[in-house]
A and B are shown apart, each in its own frame.
Chain A
Amino acid sequence: MPKIITDQNLRLLIDTLVGEGKRVIGPKAAGTLTLYEPLASAEELSLGELPRRSAKETFFPLCENILTYEKSSSGTTVHDIDPARFPETVLIGARPCDVAAAPVLDAIFSWDFKDEFFLERRRKTTIIGLACTTADDACFCTAVGLSPADTRGSDLFLTPLAGGSYRCDVISDKGEALLAAHAGLFAETDTAEPVSLAEPQLGPLDLDRIKAWLDTHFEDPLWEEIAARCAGCGACAFLCPACHCFDISDEGSEKQGARRKHWDACGFGKFTYHASGHNPREVQPHRYRNRIMHKFKYYHDKFGQRLCTGCGRCIRACPVGIDIAQIIDDINRK
Chain B
Amino acid sequence: MTNTAHTIDTALYDAVTDALRAEAKKVLESGTAAAVIGWQAGRRRGSAVPAIVTDPADAEKLIFSPSCVNNLALYLTKAKKEVREKGKLAVVAKGCDMKALAGLMGENQLKRDDVYIIGVACAGVYGPAIRGNAPLDDGTLARKCRECAAELPEGADVSLGTVPRRPAFTPHEAAELARLEAMTPAERWAFWKEHFSRCIRCYACRQVCPFCYCEQCLCDRNRPQAVETTPRPAGNMAWHMVRAMHLAGRCAGCAECERACPMDIPLNLLNRKMAKELKELYGHEAGFQAKEKGPLAEYREDDNQSFIK
Name A residues whose Cβ lies closer than 8 Å to a Cβ of B: 30-33, 52-53, 62-63, 137-138, 224, 228-229, 231-235, 237-239, 247, 249, 251, 260, 262-263, 265, 268, 270, 283-285, 315-317, 319-323, 325-326
Name B residues whose Cβ lies closer than 8 Å to a Cβ of A: 42-45, 47-52, 70, 74-75, 79-83, 129, 198, 200-204, 206-208, 220, 222, 225, 228-232, 235, 256, 259-260, 262-264
Give the 8 A-B CB pairs with smallest separation, nearest first.
A321-B49, A319-B260, A233-B207, A233-B204, A234-B202, A283-B82, A231-B207, A326-B43
- A262: chain B residues at CB < 8 Å are 201, 229-231
CB distance from B234 to the nearest CB of A (A): 9
* B263/A268 in contact, CB under 8 A: no
Tell me, in angstroms, the Cα distance from A238 to B81 when the chains sit together.
25
- B204: chain A residues at CB < 8 Å are 231, 233-235, 317, 319
* A283/B70 in contact, CB under 8 A: no
User: Could you list some 21 contacts between A and B, CB below 8 A?
Assistant: A30-B198, A33-B263, A53-B200, A53-B262, A62-B231, A63-B230, A63-B232, A229-B75, A231-B74, A233-B260, A237-B202, A238-B202, A251-B228, A251-B235, A283-B82, A317-B262, A319-B256, A319-B260, A320-B50, A320-B208, A322-B49
- B81: chain A residues at CB < 8 Å are 283
- B206: chain A residues at CB < 8 Å are 233
- Set B50, B75, B82, B207: member contacting A321, Cβ < 8 A: B50
- Set B47, B220, B230, B262: member contacting A239, Cβ < 8 A: B262
- A235: chain B residues at CB < 8 Å are 202, 204, 260, 262
Chain B residue at minimal CB-CB distance from A258:
B230
* B208/A321 in contact, CB under 8 A: no
Would A270 and B42 be within 8 Å (CB), given that A228-B82, A231-B204 are in contact?
no
- Set B45, B203, B208: member contacting A234, Cβ < 8 A: B203
* B232/A321 in contact, CB under 8 A: no
- Set A224, A238, A283, A319: member contacting B200, Cβ < 8 A: A238
CB distance from B53 to the nearest CB of A (A): 11
* B48/A263 in contact, CB under 8 A: no
- A260: chain B residues at CB < 8 Å are 230, 232
* B264/A268 in contact, CB under 8 A: no
* A138/B44 in contact, CB under 8 A: yes
Chain B residue at minimal CB-CB distance from A322:
B49
- A247: chain B residues at CB < 8 Å are 229
CB distance from B229 to the nearest CB of A (A): 5
CB distance from B62 to the nearest CB of A (A): 14
Tell me, in angstroms, the Cα distance from A229 to B48 when the chains sit together.
13
- A32: chain B residues at CB < 8 Å are 264
- B202: chain A residues at CB < 8 Å are 233-235, 237-239, 265
- B256: chain A residues at CB < 8 Å are 319
CB distance from B227 to the nearest CB of A (A): 10
- Set B50, B129, B203: member contacting A268, Cβ < 8 A: B203
Tell me, in angstroms, the Cα distance from A216 to B69 when the chains sit together.
36
CB distance from A50 to the nearest CB of B (A): 12
- A63: chain B residues at CB < 8 Å are 230-232
Tell me, in angstroms, the Cα distance from A31 to B198 when the chains sit together.
10
CB distance from A326 to the nearest CB of B (A): 4
- A283: chain B residues at CB < 8 Å are 81-82
* A231/B208 in contact, CB under 8 A: yes
CB distance from A9 to the nearest CB of B (A): 33
- B208: chain A residues at CB < 8 Å are 231, 233, 319-320
- B51: chain A residues at CB < 8 Å are 229
Chain A residue at minimal CB-CB distance from B129:
A316
- A320: chain B residues at CB < 8 Å are 49-50, 70, 208
CB distance from B144 to the nearest CB of A (A): 15
Tell me, in angstroms, the Cα distance from A74 to B6 when the chains sit together.
71
CB distance from B106 to the nearest CB of A (A): 23
- B47: chain A residues at CB < 8 Å are 321
Tell me, in angstroms, the Cα distance from A299 to B48 when the chains sit together.
31
Would A137 and B45 be within 8 Å (CB), given that A30-B198, A232-B207 are in contact?
yes
CB distance from B46 to the nearest CB of A (A): 10
- B229: chain A residues at CB < 8 Å are 247, 249, 251, 262
- Set A229, A251, A321: member contacting B52, Cβ < 8 A: A229
- B80: chain A residues at CB < 8 Å are 228, 284
Which of A228, A325, A326 has most chain B Cβ within 10 Å? A228
* A233/B232 in contact, CB under 8 A: no
- Set B43, B44, B259: member contacting A319, Cβ < 8 A: B259
Chain A residue at minimal CB-CB distance from B86:
A228
CB distance from A230 to the nearest CB of B (A): 9
- B220: chain A residues at CB < 8 Å are 270
Other A-B pairs beyond A232-B207, A249-B225, 5, CB < 8 Å:
A33-B264, A52-B262, A231-B74, A249-B228, A263-B200
* A315/B231 in contact, CB under 8 A: no
- B228: chain A residues at CB < 8 Å are 249, 251
Chain B residue at minimal CB-CB distance from A329:
B43
Would A323 and B222 be within 8 Å (CB), given that A228-B83, A234-B204, A235-B262 are in contact?
no
